[in-house]
């Protein structure tokens, strides 16, 4: 667990960086672009990059062998580059330079994101992976909270300060991870020989495909809800913008608080069981939100929903890893982010189109419908098949 907490600093910096990027870069774009839709599209660049590049990087790291290990070379290259371009973003001199710095930062992050995440199953026994995922998600959640609290304060003093602070944090966390995690020593299945080419027919078994489909549909629900909730609160419930945005923090807060307990629960009673309980809980929560008029009840149900989302999200990544063999951790990490990124690209415009047709009242009904599809697919996952392949 000590290694997991140390690795958690890598997740802390990734979450810190993305949260601050998503929170403040739109202000820079707004200085040059009047179309909110175009700003929204430009803010999804990372998802398009993740869609095409991260699966490749993940697979490439599976087959990489250096004296630093499989994953570490990607961190040693990607993190300093990300820190450089992160610092340059607020120093842009026009729209073109801003877009160039944004693109380069996103590409740099893509270099090390999948390898960093794949380090967790590399150094963690399968029976401990849900606990480990809870720890690293807790660290990531803390990074997001700091991005909006301390980051907002620094941004009010000088717009470049939070970006500089994040860049420094990137380098510090890289040093922590590099000094404390030695892949050839700590990785459970590390060898100096070249890994044979992955057999996708064997790896992409029925359980994996059903699980990927479930991941896609529950991310459709969550990504769409988070992207459109503030508009829902203003237009459907009559809340102010600040009250609507503040309400959503209850969902995020409970997720962070229950990240570690969710991992422990998954280790005790099974990842699939906890995920199914979480999906069912989310369906009930989202359906209840359609009849809520009081802000107190709204925030209480959102807090409850965040707990159920922790049940799902904390156990999902260890579950997708466990459906394959040890040699494919990086590949499966890339597939996980491929599917979640595809959902992030698809969900806001799809749910937004439904809102245009039927009004904001359809938001949580559509999200609940997507979760029902996720429940159907996760129920089809065969744990016995997963465990047999995962032990090979």
**Helix, strand or coil, per DSSP, at residue 111:** helix
342 shares a domain with 209: yes
Task: State how many domains the chain has.
Answer: 2
Note the pLDDT of residue 388.
43
Higher pLDDT, 378 or 203: 378
Give me the mean pLDDT over the 219-230 stretch.
83
Handedness of CA 79, 83, 86, 88 (dihedral sign): negative
Q: Which pLDDT band, with edges at 50, 70 and 90, does 129 fall under?
A: confident
Note the pLDDT of residue 27.
78
365 shares a domain with 317: yes
Give pLDDT tens digits for 131-147: 777 788 788 878 877 77
Task: Determine the distance from the C-alpha atom of residue 234 to the mean position of all C-alpha atoms in its chain, rounded to a whole number.
Answer: 26
Q: What are the two backbone dihedrals, phi and then psi, of residue 291, each rounded to the nearest 5 degrees?
A: -110, 10
Torsion of CA 87, 91, 92, 93, to 10 degrees: -160
Give me the mean pLDDT over the 363-385 stretch.
89
Residue finishing a domain among 162, 195, 228: 195
264 shares a domain with 136: no
Please give the structure tokens belonging to residue 212: 């990927």
Q: What residues make up the domain containing 325?
A: 201-390
187 shares a domain with 40: yes
DSSP 264-293: HHHHHH-HHHHHHHHHHHHHHHHHHHTT--
Note the pLDDT of residue 195.
47
Q: Which pLDDT band, with edges at 50, 70 and 90, does 273 fall under?
A: very high
CB 364 within 8 A of CB 371: no
pLDDT at 386 over 70: no
DSSP 370-381: HHHHHHHHHHT-
pLDDT at 186 over 70: no
247 shares a domain with 301: yes
118 shares a domain with 235: no
Residue finishing a domain among 178, 195, 212: 195
CATH of the domain at 9: 1.20.1250.20
Please give the structure tokens belonging to residue 171: 């380098």
217 shares a domain with 155: no
Please give the structure tokens belonging to residue 11: 């997740």
CB 14 within 8 A of CB 113: yes
71 shares a domain with 102: yes
Q: How far apart are CA 330 and CA 168, in angstroms?
A: 27
Give pLDDT tens digits for 2-11: 777 877 888 8
Asked whether the whole model's pTM tops 0.75, one would answer no
CB 350 within 8 A of CB 373: no
pLDDT at 187 over 80: no
Higher pLDDT, 318 or 385: 318
State percent of the chain over pLDDT 90.
Answer: 29
315 shares a domain with 173: no
Give me the mean pLDDT over the 92-119 stretch.
88
Helix (H) or strand (E) holding 165: helix 161-180
Number of helical (H) and strand (E) elements in the chain, helices listed first: 18, 0
Note the pLDDT of residue 193.
41
234 shares a domain with 336: yes
Question: Which residue, among 167, 242, 208, has the nearest Cα to 382 in the 3D structure?
Answer: 208
Cβ contacts of 384 within 8 Å, gap of 6 or more: none
Higher pLDDT, 190 or 165: 165
Note the pLDDT of residue 145.
74
Give me the mean pLDDT over the 37-48 stretch.
75
211 shares a domain with 116: no
Note the pLDDT of residue 188.
59
214 shares a domain with 161: no
Higher pLDDT, 360 or 130: 360
Give me the mean pLDDT over the 265-290 stretch.
94
CB 230 within 8 A of CB 245: yes
Residue finishing a domain among 160, 180, 195: 195
């Amino acid at each position: 667990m000590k290694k997991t907490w140390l690795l958690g600093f890598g997740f802390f910096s990734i979450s810190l960086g993305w949260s601050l990027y998503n929170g403040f870069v739109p202000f820079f774009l707004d200085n040059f672009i009047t179309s909110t839709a175009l700003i929204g599209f430009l803010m999804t660049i990372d998802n398009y990059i993740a869609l095409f590049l991260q699966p490749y990087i993940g697979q490439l790291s599976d087959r990489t062998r250096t004296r630093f290990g499989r994953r570490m070379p990607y961190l040693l290259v990607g993190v300093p580059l990300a820190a450089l371009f992160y610092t340059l973003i607020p120093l842009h001199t026009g729209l073109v330079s801003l877009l160039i710095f944004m693109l380069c930062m996103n590409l740099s992050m893509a270099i090390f994101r999948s390898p960093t995440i794949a380090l967790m199953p590399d150094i963690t026994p399968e029976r401990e992976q849900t606990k480990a995922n809870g720890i690293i998600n807790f660290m990531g959640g803390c990074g997001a909270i700091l991005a909006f609290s301390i980051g907002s304060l620094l941004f009010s003093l000088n717009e470049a300060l939070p970006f500089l602070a994040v860049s420094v944090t990137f380098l510090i966390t890289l040093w922590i991870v590099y000094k404390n995690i030695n892949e050839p020593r700590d990785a459970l299945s590390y060898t100096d020989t070249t890994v044979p080419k992955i057999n996708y027919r064997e790896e992409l078994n029925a359980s994996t495909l059903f699980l990927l489909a479930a991941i896609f549909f529950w991310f459709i629900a969550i990504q769409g809800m988070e992207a459109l909730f503030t508009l829902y609160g203003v237009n459907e419930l009559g809340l102010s913008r600040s009250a609507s945005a503040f309400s959503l923090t209850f969902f995020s807060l409970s997720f962070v608080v229950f990240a570690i307990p969710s991992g422990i629960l998954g280790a005790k009673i099974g990842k699939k069981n906890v995920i199914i309980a979480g999906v069912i809980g989310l369906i009930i929560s989202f359906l209840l939100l359609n009849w809520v008029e009081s802000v107190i009840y709204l925030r209480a149900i959102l807090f409850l929903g965040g707990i159920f989302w922790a049940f799902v999200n904390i156990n999902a990544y260890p579950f997708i890893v466990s459906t394959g063999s040890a040699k494919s951790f990086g590949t499966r990490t890339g597939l996980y982010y491929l599917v979640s990124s595809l959902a992030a690209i698809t969900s806001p415009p799809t749910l937004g189109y439904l809102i245009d047709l039927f009004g904001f009242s359809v938001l949580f009904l559509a999200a609940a419908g997507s979760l029902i599809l996720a429940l159907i697919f996760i129920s089809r996952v065969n744990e016995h098949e997963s465990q047999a392949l995962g032990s090979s």
